[in-house]
Structure 1
Amino acid sequence: MTTALSQACTSNSVSEAIKILSDAPALISEPLAWNDSDGKELTTPAIFIAIDYGHVELVKAMLQFFKGDTSIDKLKSGSGDYNALGWASWVGNLEIVRLLVDVADATVDDEALELSRESGNAEVTKYLLENIDLYSNLDGDADAIMDKACREGDIAMVRRMLNFGYSPEQCAQGPLFIAMKCGHMDIVSLFREVGVEINLDLGGDNSAEKFRAMAEELKEVADENSLADE
């Protein structure tokens, strides 16, 4: 039966896959052997097959089997590396990602976000950013929150942290250079507005020289932005 389910998922036979799962619902969590479109042998639960092949209607139909203790978040690929949303984020099918989040209540986490970025799926990344709580696992750590806001380009959170008392002196350390490195010039400009000094004395090794050159360029842009606002 597992072979039949694997074949049904690969071939996008929605009716056959749902019939098999209706007769044996526990199979939704069982690892199945299958080959991806490149011929690579994999072992994952059935929904990963549908996700990998981009079978939207099959994914939608299979979501009915995720209820109670059978959570989409708990389901892992055969190696245990990824959950279903992470797999879908890497594949980059926005419609499937939406189904997993909106219908199956999959939790959007840092892993899914990073996988979408690594694979260059800009639309998926944008959607995940709209549905993730970037700071839920930071336990109110102000430094960690500010660093992450600068890394993600979350200028609203940066403003909030500044309004709540995060000092310019604190920003002159990690947060400023994180924002620079990630190219978030709006945050760099905001830091300059509140009095954060851009210090380019980074030492003399090659990596520091490269970063100094980048920082000089970013500072020029920040100066231009400041003049334009006057």
Structure 2
Amino acid sequence: MASEIERGTGRDLEKGLIMTPEPSQNSTADPSPTPSPSSVPPALVLSNSGKRIDQAGKKKYVKQVTGRHNDTELHLAAQRGDLAAVRQILDDIDSQMVGTLSGAELDAEVAEVRVSVVNEVNELGETALFTAADRGHLEVVKELLKYSNKECLMKKNRSGFDALHIASSQGHHAIVQVLLDHDPGLSKTLGPSSATPLISASTRGHTAVVNELLAKDCSLIENTRTNGKNALHLAARQGHVEIVKALLDKDSQLARRTDKKGQTALHMAVKGQSCEVVRLLLEADAAIVMLPDKFGNTALHVATRKKRVEIVNELLMLRDTNVNALTRDHKTALDIAEDLPLSEESADIRDCLTRYGA
């Protein structure tokens, strides 16, 4: 079960879902024509997944669920970070199947059942591995990976996140390491709005996770969300200094990339509060200070509109800055400042712009 950070408003809890009535666990035979008692061997019901196996090797799932999201026992153990319980559930599969098969056939069947149990999802589309990755339970993640196939690793919950993506978003660096070591290709999976694990980690300020992802594949910096924003846009907007440094170290030209509105990372940075991020971007490429978005706004126009006094001063100290640049609707930064409600910030910005020739 993912946290509130990951759910957001897009999480569908499926409160109106009508569940199919569960077959009884005490049933010892399929409800076909009633055979004689001597001809039907007792069925085996596994307590964690509800997988029932008869001596003919036929398998049938009787889904046993509990909790508000129809979690299996394995989900609940993973949620608690209870490694002993996780191991017990998986080990019990072996002991419960003794006598039904033998030798290599038994080993293959046990392995198949374990994979099925680990791959099982709750009502929110979450595997036990996802739950452990979300909650930051490293040892449980390691244990479940022993039985997780490619499908389990890539499986997304109903909100569009897989195990690596949720671990990246939550900042669980050690879990991100383990998952990437297991399958480096997970770093390229896409979540909601085509966000990558790198974009999510950059947005949330998880520097160690960002560095881990970049170390595995520096080409990840090229990925963008559906709105055209890349990891640098989002880290700059949030003022994550170390992440901005890490991204620019990989490619300083990233500072020139624009989103679908024509905004650079500098446009995003001046909406925030970090002068240090603004400086880092300008050090990478000072000329971006005059790049307009699709509406003709330079960074100075945006900073003025947002009443960022310190950032306006920072921009005006640059030789490349044109204090009288016009937007598409023919407004200078001073025009924008004069339209602002009277306040200490708007007065300071007007004075500053005037000093620099507006």
Q: Give the TM-score, by structure 1 length.
A: 0.57
SS at the partner of 2:223? coil
Q: Which residue of 2 aligns with 1:127?
A: 208
Paired residues, what number?
198
Residue 84 of structure 1 aligns to which amino acid in structure 2?
A
How many Å separate the matches in 2 of 1:215 and 1:76?
Answer: 51
Residue-by-residue CA offset, 1:72-97 (whole Å, 9 max, x unaligned) = 3x3212x2343323433454444334
Paired position in structure 2 for 1:49: 131
- Is 1:31 aligned to residue 121 of structure 2? yes
Matched with 1:70 is: 151
Say whether the 8 Å CA contact 2:286–2:320 is kept in structure 1. Answer: no
The residue aligned with 1:110 is 199
Map residues 45-194 of structure 1 onto 2, 5 A cutoff.
45-65=127-147, 69-70=150-151, 72=153, 74-77=154-157, 79-101=158-180, 103-105=182-184, 106-107=186-187, 108-114=197-203, 116=204, 122=205, 124=206, 126-130=207-211, 131=213, 133-137=220-224, 142-144=257-259, 147-148=264-265, 150-151=267-268, 153=277, 158-162=282-286, 166=288, 168=290, 170=292, 173-176=297-300, 189=314, 192-194=317-319
2:102 paired residue number? none
CA contact (8 A) 1:89 1:113 kept: no
The structure whose RCO (Cα within 8 Å, separation 6+) is larger is: 1
Report if aligned partners of 2:290, 2:321 keep a CA contact under 8 Å in 1: yes
1:55 CA drift (Å): 1.7
TM-score, normalised by the number of residues in structure 2: 0.41
Unaligned runs of at least 5 residues, structure 1:
34-41, 117-121, 224-230
Contact map agreement 1:146 1:158 (CA 8 A) in 2: no
Extract unaligned runs of 5+ from structure 2.
1-47, 50-71, 94-109, 188-196, 215-219, 231-253, 270-276, 324-332
Question: Cα RMSD (Å) of the superposition?
Answer: 4.7
* Separation in 1, partners of 2:164, 2:314: 35
| CA–CA distance in structure 1, aligned partners of residues 267 and 122 of structure 2 | 41
Q: Which has the higher helix share?
A: 1
Q: Percent identity?
A: 18
2:321: which partner in 1?
Answer: 196
Pair 1:16-2:16 in alignment: no
- Quote the Cα distance in structure 2 between the aligned partners of 1:210 and 1:186: 19
Q: Which amino acid aligns with 1:76?
A: K
**Residue matched to 1:119:** none
Q: Which entry has the higher C-alpha Rg, 1 or 2?
A: 2
Q: 1:10 to 1:187 in 2, by over 3 A?
A: same
